[in-house]
Chain A
C-alpha cells in the first residue's frame, strides 16, 4: 500500500517528464530543424558533458544570489506587510506606490540598476531578485493581518494581552498560509530577477551569463541546457518552500473529500 503510494507520487510526474521529452524530440525530428534553429533533448546531454564545470559554478552563482535576494524580500516584505496590515493610514499611503512600482516591467529597471552600480554584479543581481519578489509577500502579509477577525483580537485583549502577544500567538500563525502562498510565487519571480540581470549586464556571471554566451555563439543546445538547469533549480527551491509550508502551516491543509 505504502510502496504503491510512493511509486505513484514519484512515478506519475516522472512519466510526464519522459512523455514531454519524447514529444519535444519528436517535434524537432519531424520538422527536421537543424541545431542552429532548435535543440532536441538528445543534444542537451553532450552540452552538459562539455560544460559541466561551468554549469556547476554558474548554477551556484545564480542560486546563492537568488536565495539571498529572496531572503531579503521575505524580511523587507514581511516588515512592510506588517506596517500596512496594522496601520490603515500606512496602507492607504503605501498601496498606490507599491502597485505602481510593481507595474513597472523589471526588464526596464535592469539597465538603470546596471548603470547605477556599474561593476557591482553580485549586488545588482541580488537587488533585482529582491525588487521583483518582495511585492507578493508584502501584499499577502498585509492582507492576512488586516483581515484578522476582531473576535480573535478580543479573545486575548479581554485578558489583558499586549499587542505583541496578540501578534505572536494569533496574527502571525494565522497569516502563515497566505505567506507561504506568496513565497511560492516569489521564488519563481526571484529567479526571473536574477537571470534578467545576469543576461543583460556585460561580463555577467551565473546561468544567465552562460545563456548569453550560448546566444552569441548560436549554441542552441547550450541555451536549452541552461533553460533546463534553471527549471531544475526553480523546482528544487519551490519544493523546499513546500516542505517548509508543510512544517509551519500544515494545519491549514484540509484532507480532500
Chain B
C-alpha cells in the first residue's frame, strides 16, 4: 500500500543570531493511508517544526515531504490542524468556528449541508446543544473538541495534531482519547499526533516514532498492533506495560540519560 505521508531525509536548521540551529537531521517517517502515527521525543527536539513541514507552512532545508504522492511545496487544503491552544475565534459561535475552514477551502457543500455536517461533527464529539454558544462559555476540554471539529469539517485526508490534549487534566484527556477513536471510526483520516504522553501515544496510534534529542532524527519506531477497538483497560495490560517500557527507555536515550545497546556494546 502506498504511504500517504512520506518524509524522506528531512533536515532543517533555524537561522539564529548565534548561527544556524539545526533542529531536524535525517528524519524518516512514513504513514500509510488511514494510519495514525504518534511522534514523541524530548522537549524542544523539533516536533512542532515537523507539523509545520507537513502542513506546508515551511520548507525543509533538505529532504522531501510527500502527501498523497505529491511533493509538498506550500499549504494545501487537504490538511486539518489542531494545536494545544484551541485558537477558537471568540467573536464567533461554536458552529461558525467549526465552519471557518469552509470559508477558505472551495467546497461543494451548500450552506445547509455544511451546517448539517458541522452539527454532525459536534454531536460526534459530544457538543450537541452548544452550537450557538461562544467559546468563552466552554470549558477547556470542550473548546478542544470544537477545535477538532474545525480541523475535520473540510474532510482533510491528513489530520495534524500538535499536543492537542497537553493542557487538559488527566480525566478530560482520557475522555478525549476515546472521542478520537470514535471520530476516526466515523470520519477516517490519516493522522500525525505530536505528544509528550507515552500512554496517549500507544492508546491512539498504531505506530510510535521516537525522535532523538536536537537535532532530531528518527531514533526508534514502535508498531502498536491493534486487536479490535481499544479501550482504556488496554493500557493496563502486560503488553501495554512492555510497550511503555520500551518507549520510556528510548526517550531516556534521546535525552542522553541512557546508552543505546548498539553503542554500549
Contacts from A to B (Cβ < 8 Å): 149, 151-152, 154-161, 165, 169-170, 173-174, 176, 249, 251-252, 254
What separation, in Å, do the CA atoms of A112 and B81 have in the docked complex?
57
A252 with B90: CB separation less than 8 A: yes
Interface centre among A149, A154, A158, A165 (most CB of B within 10 A): A158
**Pick the contact of A160 from B76, B89, B136 — CB < 8 Å?**
B76
Interface size for chain B: under 10, 10 to 19, 20 to 34, or 35 or more residues? 20 to 34
**Pick the contact of B104 from A151, A152, A159 — CB < 8 Å?**
A159
Contacts from B to A (Cβ < 8 Å): 52, 55-57, 74-77, 79, 81, 83, 85, 87, 89-91, 100-101, 103-105, 134, 136, 150, 154
A169 with B105: CB separation less than 8 A: no
What separation, in Å, do the CA atoms of A154 and B77 have in the docked complex?
12
**Pick the contact of A156 from B90, B91, B104 — CB < 8 Å?**
B104
What separation, in Å, do the CA atoms of A176 and B89 have in the docked complex?
13
B75 with A157: CB separation less than 8 A: yes
A159 with B87: CB separation less than 8 A: no
Residues of chain A within 8 A (CB-CB) of B52 are: 154
B57 with A157: CB separation less than 8 A: yes
A154 with B57: CB separation less than 8 A: yes
**Pick the contact of B85 from A151, A169, A252 — CB < 8 Å?**
A151
What separation, in Å, do the CA atoms of A155 and B85 have in the docked complex?
11
B89 with A159: CB separation less than 8 A: no
A160 with B87: CB separation less than 8 A: no
What separation, in Å, do the CA atoms of A97 and B184 have in the docked complex?
55
Residues of chain A within 8 A (CB-CB) of B76 are: 160
Beyond contacts A157-B57, A165-B104: 12 other A-B pairs, Cβ-Cβ < 8 A, are A151-B83, A151-B85, A151-B87, A154-B55, A155-B100, A158-B56, A158-B81, A159-B104, A159-B105, A160-B74, A170-B89, A252-B91
CB proximity of A157 to chain B, nearest CB, Å: 6
A169 with B100: CB separation less than 8 A: yes
A160 with B77: CB separation less than 8 A: yes
Residues of chain B within 8 A (CB-CB) of A173 are: 89, 91
Q: Which residue of A lies closest to B54 (CB)?
A: A158
A155 with B81: CB separation less than 8 A: yes
B100 with A158: CB separation less than 8 A: no
Q: Which residue of A lies closest to B147 (CB)?
A: A155
Residues of chain B within 8 A (CB-CB) of A156 are: 100, 104
Residues of chain A within 8 A (CB-CB) of B90 are: 174, 251-252
CB proximity of B93 to chain A, nearest CB, Å: 10
* CB within 8 Å for A149 and B85 given contacts A154-B55, A156-B104, A158-B79: yes
